[in-house]
Structure 1
Amino acid sequence: MSILKLDQTINVLNDMNSTKESWNVVVRVLRLWFVQDFMKQKIPFSLEMVLQDEQGVRIHASVRRTLIYKFQSQIYEGHVYSIQSFSVTSNLGSYRTTKHAYKINFQYGTKLNAFLSAGEVDNAVISIEFAKVKFFRDNIYVQNCIDCTRVEYNVLTEEALLLKKRMLETMDSPSQRLSQLCESSKQTHEDEFLHSTARNTIAGLKDCREVNTFIVLVTIKHVVDDNDLWYKVQLRVINDIDSTTFMLFDREASSLLSKSCAEMFESHDKNENLLNEFAEILEKNVLFKVDSKMDKGFRANL
């Protein structure tokens, strides 16, 4: 789930036209339904909706069949969203749900950001339950658990009201409070790699379509020789059924080889032979912590 930055320009539906695609609207989904395909009854023809902004202006929006899989689990009737990067076309046809001259068509790159709730913006208290707290490069992150984490905005419990009162008295931000968790609560390196982080395989990483972190056990087979890439090391790795390339930047390479990438490539001999440090890691089984990024591959860390 994304959070809309308050400094972004928000357009009103009355201004909507087909001259550009860089619109950013905040709307409530008044009605949401599937249009059935009578020739292929198991597959909907489209996902249709009626949207309304804060001025009460309504517009029709459509998601074509090939994109239903992408948006059907992200948008719900009655909820409020900001919608960006969509196309605008004339509102034609014999059946029109609104009087607006245009309608919205979702594209693959359309961004849909959900609002948790309405209410107070300043000093709002957000309750996050059944989530994971992770430590990465000395920073603290809160990560959701699939189908389990619950997020509530502007909660009015006794604990939330006391927290809001303390915030107003001290002017400290919640993120600063979070970063001051005691050292004893931090995970050890061993716990992070062996117990608390999800495991995956190379094949699973390639099929992954979410932003997540995994532990992967692989065998290092080869170091990719590329003198132009002095700031990183590329390793060809395998497991029982697949192979891929992991990219290590200076921090990770130093951890594995006790030298920075620049130092290693400076000492690379003219006969293109592998350094001793490289040779020592070949054929070794290593646990990597891999950051998987949607549609952008993955990056390995030690």
Structure 2
Amino acid sequence: MTAEEGGGGEARRGEEGAEVVKEEGEADSKSHDADEVAGGMGIDRGGKWSRIAMLCKTLSEIRPGKELWKITARITRLWDAILRSSGEILSIDMILIDEKGTMVHGVINKAYIQKFKTLIQEDNVYVIANVRVTPAAKTYRSVENDKVVNFLPTTTIQKIKDTDDIPKYSFKFCNIDMLSKRINIDTYLSDVIGIAAYIGLVEETRTQFGVSKIRDIVLLIES
């Protein structure tokens, strides 16, 4: 994707060879002209980003079956998916959230980690183009969404100026009744909030993956 397609500004190469575009705050005196060339993708001097949003899809609009989706979202959570038996990093995973508060699981597979690792950071807002949307796994979904955003070799990512229009966090806390309905149902990972009434010591236990460390915690949560 060229600088014109990606939102104006001066194109450069990141350390891993992935194309990135200067953030608005880094732009030189020609950045205003670049905004016009980019078809309104740049952020104007007032910090408004509505033009960006108009050219991107919301996370509720994207669907499996098309690779060239362009989205604007915040990385609200970021972690490494690790194979417990060997410690091998399988992917970089993230939770993306948009201005509607919609959340979706994002994945950078092992083959592309070096390309994108230095270009993403938790809490930043990005325009991400050329991503593939696939159905989510049937079990242990990190958010209540049946889609996953997958980074491709052709995916481009542009950090843009932060905006209060995109929430920094979003949770769906479960009370006791909701948790009771999820017993033996492993579709979603559940969010809870409460008071830690007891925190046990770290102990070792043997599982099918080898020796793991566990800690018992008792939470007092809303009924």
Q: Please give the TM-score of this superposition, normalised by the length of structure 1.
A: 0.37
Relative contact order: is structure 1 or structure 2 higher (C-alpha 8 Å, sep ≥ 6)? 2
Bigger helix share: 1
